[in-house]
Amino acid sequence: MEIWKVEAPLVCTRRVAGLKQTSLRILRNSSGSRQVAVDPVGAREGNWVFTLSGSAARWAVGDFSVQTDLTIGGIIDFWQAEETQSPGNP
């Protein structure tokens, strides 16, 4: 399970039917790379979260027919960010 910071919601009008009404979030890790994840826990901008990938991502949404490969699994209560590693934060 990887560790990410929530950056923003993702606005996406045209998408495959399999994603249904899920909320999408843009995540960014400490090295600056980004991914999109389904959010079933209600994470806010700035939260540190961990994600589930693969088929676990679909089960975690609570509806296996949702076509995701990355789902937020939980919000971390406390995290030392180490943002000095990130190229995007000088």
Does position 9 bind a copy of itself by CB under 8 A?
no
Does position 86 bind a copy of itself by CB under 8 A?
no
Binding map of a copy of itself across residues 36-75, x = CB under 8 A, - = no contact: xx--xxx-------x-xxxxxxxxx-x--x-xxxxxxxxx
Does position 6 bind a copy of itself by CB under 8 A?
no
Nearest one of 21, 3, 7, 12 to 67, comparing CA atoms: 21
d(CA 33, CA 27) in angstroms, rounded, equals 8
Handedness of CA 78, 9, 30, 52 (dihedral sign): positive
The residues of the shown chain that bind a copy of itself, judged by CB under 8 A, are 1-3, 10-19, 24, 26, 31, 33-37, 40-42, 50, 52-60, 62, 65, 67-78
